[in-house]
Amino acid sequence: MNISKFELLQSKKNDEFYFHLKAAGNSEIILDSEGYTTKANCLNGIESVKENSRYENKFDRLQAKNEEYYFNLVAGNGQIIGSSETYKSKQGRDNGIESVMRNAPNAEVVDLTIEDDEYKQKEYEIIINGRTKVVKLKELSFFNIVKIAFGEIISDGRKIYTMTFKKGHDCRPEGSLVEGDVIKIKKGVIFNVSATDKS
């Protein structure tokens, strides 16, 4: 059975990055993103969908000019982070929302912008907070790594996340990462991630 997944793509027309969410089982596209100017922002958009799709009040139920129905998923700041197709009925739209809530939080991310088949197939063993983890992406965002470390991201401002790494690529073997950063992954790279309560 197919699992749910975010597919990350790049437009050949304007070079912008975008993603869509495919449902488990039938691989139907149930959510599309807007365009992003950088891959880092696009990956952060995916993490935002994973987080906000858990809450039904983050979905705006709307009706198009042709009287068909659709929905937008919005972040805490009101920004639209995903939109649905149009549906003939309100029930179809509500079923679409339920499908996103069910599929998005634990969907894997497949980066289709990497053309080299070797990168698409490869798995990387990395170490996060002393534990070995296996990832399939050639690049990880700051929020990707936080999610792997803690299993969830507290996005209500109560937590502050800090991160350092070592044994990275030769161009940047060690350093720190902040929100919005993306790092190229290699086998054996070590991350130390901490979460502190905001005072």
**What is the CATH classification number for the domain harbouring 80?**
2.30.29.80
| Single-letter residue type at 57 | N
Token pair, residue 152, equals 């969830």
Claim to verify: residue 107 and residue 123 sit in the same structural domain? no
pLDDT in tens, 40-81: 899 999 999 999 999 999 999 999 888 999 999 999 888 999
Domain C-terminal end among 49, 78, 111: 111
Mean pLDDT of 176-193: 90
pLDDT at res. 155: 67
Claim to verify: residue 31 and residue 68 sit in the same structural domain? yes
Claim to verify: residue 94 and residue 190 sit in the same structural domain? no
The Cα–Cα gap between 29 and 7 comes to 10
Closest CA to 100 of 156, 52, 148: 52
Q: What percent of the chain has pLDDT over 90?
A: 58
- Let me know: does 169 contact 106? Beta carbons within 8 Å: no
The Cα–Cα gap between 110 and 150 comes to 21
Asked whether residue 176 carries a pLDDT value surpassing 90, the answer given is yes
Domain C-terminal end among 89, 111, 133: 111
| Residues facing 61 on adjacent strands | 71
Coil, strand or helix at 121: helix
Claim to verify: residue 131 and residue 100 sit in the same structural domain? no
Mean pLDDT of 192-198: 90
The Cα–Cα gap between 127 and 44 comes to 21
Confidence of residue 120 (pLDDT cuts 50, 70, 90): very low
**Structural domains of the chain, count:** 2
- Let me know: does 8 contact 19? Beta carbons within 8 Å: yes
Claim to verify: residue 121 and residue 193 sit in the same structural domain? yes
Confidence of residue 199 (pLDDT cuts 50, 70, 90): low
Q: Specify the DSSP class assigned to residue 167.
A: S
pLDDT in tens, 70-117: 999 999 888 999 999 999 999 999 999 999 999 999 999 998 887 544
Claim to verify: residue 126 and residue 153 sit in the same structural domain? yes
